[in-house]
Amino acid sequence: MSLTITTWNVNSVRLRLDGLARLANEIRPDVICLQEIKVANELFPHQAIEALGYTHQAVHGQAGYHGVAVLSKLPIEEALPMHWCGKDDSRHLRVRINGFDLHNFYIPAGGDVPDRELNEKFGHKLDFLAELTEWFGKGAVQSGRAVLVGDLNIAPLETDVWSHKQLLKVVSHTPIEVERLNALQASAGWVDAVRKVIPPDNRLYSWWSYRAKDWSASDRGRRLDHIWVTPDLEPDIQHADVLRAARGWDRPSDHAPVTVML
């Protein structure tokens, strides 16, 4: 059987219900992983999403900030909200679906200044990545079949940003962030499923700032949203895509959905 997984930083799930319906209709993923849902669990729009065919839902939210959710057409066997860096800020949901582990992340953005001494948010981001790397490195992936998705808030490759040179000192593409993300990827041998399909020498973005007058014409994007799989699943990667058109939908998120088919 095939399995299609889409990850999308929705930037408020209640504001993007029309976009979510369009995504469900156009891509028809089996599993949708959302980040920045910005809603407490009790106010999550369960019924509206169930009407789209996603009868199985796991939510790890909070009022107004952050939050992640997994929407599935397949039964969710287990759902575990995870906490890191001593904070309960709803950034990681671990679920089990169809015999594999799925990790949905919203990595801290890191603020504007890439210096942990001057910017607590940047320090939090680096510490978050370090804790995850240690955890996965100690064998958190036990089945050998796992998927990691989400807004990782780092564009690691030169072709993942509109200008490598100009963004080297901009949070999301600094050398230390890329180094930490590479260490996280190595911790469980994670395979970048999108770049297995779309070659690394191709420019590819999943985020465009709201500040741009014409985001498409300027095309100053970054690839912040990722789907990784463990090595056992690498042979099963069939297709990958970034739904760039979604950035131009009515009331868009600043992120575009990313999809992988296994």
Q: How far apart are CA 125 and CA 123, in angstroms?
A: 5
Burial of 171 (0-12, 13-18, 19+ CB in 10 A): buried
Q: How many CB atoms lie within 10 A of CB 193?
A: 28
- pTM score, two decimals? 0.97
Helices (H), 159-202: 164-167, 175-187, 193-197
Q: How far apart are CA 256 and CA 11, in angstroms?
A: 11
Q: Are 190 and 178 in contact (CB under 8 A)?
A: no
Q: How far apart are CA 18 and CA 177, in angstroms?
A: 34
pLDDT at 144: 82
Q: For the chain, list the domains and their CATH numbers.
A: 4-261 (3.60.10.10)
Q: Are 198 and 205 in contact (CB under 8 A)?
A: no
Q: What is the pLDDT of residues 172-213, one digit of tens each?
A: 999 999 999 999 999 999 999 999 999 999 999 999 999 999
For the residues 18-46, what does the mean pLDDT come to? Answer: 98
Q: Are 246 and 208 in contact (CB under 8 A)?
A: no
Region of 189 please: left (phi>0), alpha (psi -120 to 50) or beta: left
Residue 82 confidence (pLDDT) above 80: yes
Half-sphere CA count of 11, side-chain side, radius 13 A: 14
Q: What is the pLDDT of residues 118-131, one digit of tens each?
A: 999 999 999 999 99
- Residue 109 bridge partners (DSSP): none
